[in-house]
Structure 1
Amino acid sequence: MKKKWPMMVMAWMLVVSMFSFQHVAQAEEAVEVTLSDSITRIVEEKLAGADVSITVRDRHSGEMIYDYNGQTAIKPASNMKLFTTATALEVLGKDYRFNTSLYINGKLSNGVLKGDVYLKGQGDPTLSIEDLQQFAQELKAKGIQKIDGRIVGDDKWFDNDLLTPGIWAGDESYYYAAPISALTTSPNTDYDSGTIIVEALGSAIGELPSIKVTPKIGDLQIVNEAQTVEAGKTNTLTIERSYKTNNIVVSGNLPIDKTKKEWVTVQHPTTHTMTMFQSVLTEAGIEYTKDKVFQAATPKFAQLIATKQSMPLEQLLIPYMKLSNNGIADILVKTMGRIINHRGSTMDGLKVLQEYGKSININMADWRFEDGSGMSHENSVSSLLLSDLLFKVQGEDWFTTYFNSLPVAANADRMVGGTLRTRLKDPLTAGKVYAKTGSLTGVSTLSGYLEASSGQLYIFSVLVQNKSGASTAIDEIVKEIAEEL
């Protein structure tokens, strides 16, 4: 009789465990049904007529917990940066730095350089007017008072295609569609390379507004056609660079108590940078004999004078991902193309993204893209694939760096909350959603990680197209996911 007790205990434990498993499975199924009902209601009420793809995964197993048209391909907009950034961390490494170097090629005698000065760029989006000023001081320290030769920009690290495919003509004036060259500058520490900041300030009523340019006008021209009007009148001022010109046109009415500021793109980053460098040289007391700026490769035996390095990629990811900087994404793609495929083109860089995706078993046959920033309307991916990427990168040794670069919901600090700093403020989601936003005309996306009410972390991707103003509905969906799980 005694020998039967262990068998009876084991049988009872088996019954209990089966009951518990069944209970858990039923609970999970109930949650999924509730989640499905909640999300379906939001989609039908707020996103009627839109293309929608939603996926939720268990963070640890990658198991699909919920999907709504999970396999439907949608334009990812800036969710494309999730893939670009992962590939850059894998290929370039979190310690990668961009270099810009100063060379001379000629003979120096009695303060006169009989020869050329070269600035060689390798795509540094953090190059600033202060760096150009430091280069001028390095020339002075070398004893150079006059340059009897050319001032040359070497941008051969990248190809000559300044814009990625899919940039609309109407967008070319604005910072989010800035041209990309290997020798470019940024006006501030947001690092919107290839732009300057133009600010109009109301002056006397009936007069032209005054214009302030940061850091320098370079090779651009201001065409001021605006007018200062009485306080209280409608502000109709626009600041735009005319298509394929160097003219920045300021037009419309600006109330005397108002200002208007725009980040305006330059037409060609290399020539703009070199024109600014000329003015910096003049300010430093260095003369030059040739007013024209040139573009050419640095001679093999030119003398290196100084090199400026950017911050490491790990630090650059913060302004890049938090603020969704398109220029940095495009620069990273071309940089990977140069380093891996020996050509700094968008096409060669995208091949690197393809190979990385294949290496972690992402189904690249169903992921279409023609840029790394997400600006192109030809990009498409499903929430199923995006969430699969977010699951698989967790195993990479750089994942913490990747995760920390994501915007954090409702955090007011720009370099923490980024593009999510004014969204998802409900206590269920505030500070608990770490995700990349995306937006194009008629497109809104959000993909990342969230801490649910249970305290567990989940992966989610919500992609919407053919619907304006969908971000509010997306936030409601994310709140439902957090509440139900």
Structure 2
Amino acid sequence: MDRIFKTTPFRRACNLRVLTNGQTLYRVASFGLMAWLVAASAHAANPAAPAEKTKAVNTLNFPGGPSQVPPDLQRALSEILSDSSLRGARVSFMAQMVDTGQVLASYNPDKLINPASNVKLITAAAALRILKPEYRYRTRYYAWGPIIDGVLKGHLVVKGFGDPTVVTERLKKVASGLANMGIKKITGQVVIDDSFFDGVREASGWETEEAPERAYAAPVGALSLNYNAVSVLLRPDDLGKPALMQVEPPAEYVTLEGKVMTNRWGRRLQVMTRAGPDTTLMQVGGTIRPRSKPLRIFRRVYDPGLYYGSALTGFLQIHGVEMRHDVVRGRLPASARLLYVDRSLTLGEVINTLNKYSNNFMAETLIKTIGADQSGAPGTFDSGLAAVRYFLENEIGYEPGSYKLGNGSGLNHVNLFSSHHMVKLLSHLYKDFEIGSEFVTSLGIAGTQGTIAFRMRHTAAERRLRAKTGTLRGVSALSGYVVDPKERVIAFSIMAQGFSGRTSNMWKIQNAIGEALATDGASWIMAHGDEEGVQTTKSAGRARGSVR
């Protein structure tokens, strides 16, 4: 649910900015770039909070004293956290040496804050511990009936186990593989078995989403395609004529309604999806300018299983398999014969995508996968979250009742954690030989990769800070690791909620903290000299003033 800078190729999902020049969903899938899923939620969250362990005091503390925290770093952190952009906000900050456990600095470390997408750190850690980094999802394809002279006299059954990474390219490869087995005709139906998960498709908190058709709020299913989003490609025609529209991937399950006119005063577009009987209705309207580049807009679907089966049917037909479009939901019969198994990348690689691009759909799918693994199918949100809580309390050491975990993605208002919680998790994972390397490498890298690819560029923190972002309306968080000048790893977390200004002001504060930790405060002192109270939300070269 993190906002990505407009200048990146990972465009904001909330605006669903588009790919142009004929780029296709297939290219998006092949590069693993899911901009249209990176969530930019419209809500600030104020859930009922668990009782805080101690009454938080708005004081920045340096438990290690000057021997552990250089004076320049103390001054830098003090001034940064005095920024007027934080006035009236709930703020929690903590930085700790990973090797010794020495707390360098803390500011309301036990204050409970909505962590937004920082919750994905918890989901990723639990998934790696419970499922293991080498875990792979499998999707199985069966023949329910004999195959005689290339004719499947019966049904094609697809059994899903929750793979969140199937994209158009992979499904086309499956269709090609089945056709290359000599199947020329299927007389029966495509039977979708998605019973590995229960029928609840939206996690807690998603019901309050203001734009529920957005791709970042796609439903969860045991059979899913393209992160359960579909796109419409719009190309302008001559002035006064309807624009050309094409649904991708081509699936009869999606019904396109409306039209977009080519108008010199464009572009005012409305693209919405809603559930229909056995279909997702995509409603399009508005105008587009004659010389506009082709636009691709993504929206969620409403029945992942039927969407999957419909697209598979189309791809089989493209590969020459004679069959009718007839997709039904059912259960795998004992008499069906296994034809083909499609395997995902390892869980370690899936987690890399989850955290670098903050994919809500992947996070919630992992919760149900954990639930199925620990409690048996069908996987549910409740069983998955129960297993994650057990992991947090029995391995990481969280006190029961000291936090609130309502979903695995961080969307909206159902989670509460403190910076202390986050640092405790980060420190533990860094030292875990079995899963630590996969966890650490999954985080965004300052200035180069993920949701912080365009932050802290050309600073001392570039490539030396790895972190996960979290963004909702009025909520901003950054938690991860940074290396100091002595090559010591620091786990840190900074979370703010209830600020009234722009989220970009919070990013600048977070960036300044990251740079200060990476330089023992030298970056701040060099930028601001002996003058104190410089606002982080102004450029270092121009800003001078007093702390308010």
Q: TM-score, normalised by structure 2?
A: 0.77
Q: Structure 1 residue aligned with 2:445, among 386, 391, 408?
A: 408
CA distance in 2, matches of 1:429, 1:305: 51
Query: Which secondary structure state, in structure 1, belongs to the residue aligned with residue 199 of structure 2?
Result: coil
Query: Which structure 2 residues correspond to residues 84-483 of structure 1 after superposition, within 5 A?
Result: 84-167=123-206, 168-186=208-226, 193-230=227-264, 233=265, 235-242=267-274, 246-259=280-293, 260-288=295-323, 291-343=325-377, 344-358=379-393, 359-397=395-433, 398-411=435-448, 417-467=449-499, 468-469=502-503, 470-483=506-519
Alpha-carbon shift at residue 465 of structure 1 (Å):
1.4
Kindly indicate whether the alpha-carbon contact (under 8 Å) linking 1:173 and 1:243 is maintained by their aligned counterparts in 2. Answer: no
Q: 1:37 aligns to what?
A: 78
Residues matched between the structures, number? 447
Alpha-carbon shift at residue 249 of structure 1 (Å):
2.2
Alpha-carbon shift at residue 284 of structure 1 (Å):
2.5
Q: 1:190 aligns to what?
A: none
CA distance in 2, matches of 1:287, 1:161: 34
Structure 2's unaligned 5+ residue stretches are 1-63, 522-548
Kindly indicate whether the alpha-carbon contact (under 8 Å) linking 1:47 and 1:473 is maintained by their aligned counterparts in 2. Answer: no
- Judged with a 3 Å threshold, the aligned counterparts in structure 2 of structure 1 residues 295 and 451 are, in CA distance, closer, same or farther, namely same
- Judged with a 3 Å threshold, the aligned counterparts in structure 2 of structure 1 residues 47 and 137 are, in CA distance, closer, same or farther, namely same
User: Bigger CA drift: 326-335 or 211-220?
Assistant: 211-220
CA distance in 2, matches of 1:405, 1:424: 18
- Judged with a 3 Å threshold, the aligned counterparts in structure 2 of structure 1 residues 418 and 120 are, in CA distance, closer, same or farther, namely same
Q: 2:108 aligns to what?
A: 69
Rg bigger for which structure?
1
Alpha-carbon shift at residue 436 of structure 1 (Å):
0.3
CA distance in 2, matches of 1:352, 1:31: 43
Cα deviation code 1:399-438 (max 9, x no counterpart): 1111111100111xxxxx1100111224122222100011
Alpha-carbon shift at residue 454 of structure 1 (Å):
4.7
CA distance in 2, matches of 1:158, 1:365: 28
Kindly indicate whether the alpha-carbon contact (under 8 Å) linking 1:208 and 1:224 is maintained by their aligned counterparts in 2. Answer: no
Partner amino acid, structure 2, of 1:205: L
Kindly indicate whether the alpha-carbon contact (under 8 Å) linking 2:209 and 2:412 is maintained by their aligned counterparts in 1. Answer: no
User: Bigger CA drift: 235-244 or 299-308?
Assistant: 235-244
Alpha-carbon shift at residue 242 of structure 1 (Å):
3.6
Kindly indicate whether the alpha-carbon contact (under 8 Å) linking 2:459 and 2:515 is maintained by their aligned counterparts in 1. Answer: no
Alpha-carbon shift at residue 256 of structure 1 (Å):
2.3
Alpha-carbon shift at residue 36 of structure 1 (Å):
4.5
Q: 2:33 aligns to what?
A: none
Cα deviation code 1:264-286 (max 9, x no counterpart): 11111110011112212222232
Alpha-carbon shift at residue 390 of structure 1 (Å):
0.5
CA distance in 2, matches of 1:224, 1:479: 50
- Judged with a 3 Å threshold, the aligned counterparts in structure 2 of structure 1 residues 243 and 38 are, in CA distance, closer, same or farther, namely farther
Alpha-carbon shift at residue 364 of structure 1 (Å):
4.1
CA distance in 2, matches of 1:304, 1:388: 45
Kindly indicate whether the alpha-carbon contact (under 8 Å) linking 2:179 and 2:316 is maintained by their aligned counterparts in 1. Answer: no
Alpha-carbon shift at residue 136 of structure 1 (Å):
3.4
CA distance in 2, matches of 1:119, 1:88: 25
CA distance in 2, matches of 1:124, 1:26: 50
CA distance in 1, matches of 2:65, 2:119: 36
Partner amino acid, structure 1, of 2:476: S
Q: Structure 1 residue aligned with 2:92, among 37, 50, 53?
A: 53
Query: Which secondary structure state, in structure 2, belongs to the residue aligned with residue 253 of structure 1?
Result: strand
Q: 1:5 aligns to what?
A: none
Kindly indicate whether the alpha-carbon contact (under 8 Å) linking 2:251 and 2:314 is maintained by their aligned counterparts in 1. Answer: no
CA distance in 1, matches of 2:128, 2:371: 14
Kindly indicate whether the alpha-carbon contact (under 8 Å) linking 1:218 and 1:273 is maintained by their aligned counterparts in 2. Answer: no
- Judged with a 3 Å threshold, the aligned counterparts in structure 2 of structure 1 residues 104 and 96 are, in CA distance, closer, same or farther, namely same
Alpha-carbon shift at residue 132 of structure 1 (Å):
3.2
Partner amino acid, structure 1, of 2:367: V
- Judged with a 3 Å threshold, the aligned counterparts in structure 2 of structure 1 residues 472 and 201 are, in CA distance, closer, same or farther, namely farther
- Judged with a 3 Å threshold, the aligned counterparts in structure 2 of structure 1 residues 33 and 224 are, in CA distance, closer, same or farther, namely same
Query: Which secondary structure state, in structure 1, belongs to the residue aligned with residue 99 of structure 2?
Result: coil
- Aligned alpha-carbon RMSD (Å): 2.3
User: Bigger CA drift: 360-369 or 89-98?
Assistant: 360-369
Alpha-carbon shift at residue 26 of structure 1 (Å):
5.5
Kindly indicate whether the alpha-carbon contact (under 8 Å) linking 1:410 and 1:422 is maintained by their aligned counterparts in 2. Answer: yes
Identity %: 28
Cα deviation code 1:78-116 (max 9, x no counterpart): 101111111111111111111011101113334433322
CA distance in 1, matches of 2:461, 2:270: 37
Alpha-carbon shift at residue 394 of structure 1 (Å):
1.7
Query: Which secondary structure state, in structure 2, belongs to the residue aligned with residue 287 of structure 1?
Result: coil
Alpha-carbon shift at residue 203 of structure 1 (Å):
2.0
CA distance in 2, matches of 1:228, 1:323: 34
- Judged with a 3 Å threshold, the aligned counterparts in structure 2 of structure 1 residues 407 and 33 are, in CA distance, closer, same or farther, namely closer
Structure 1's unaligned 5+ residue stretches are 1-22, 187-192, 412-416
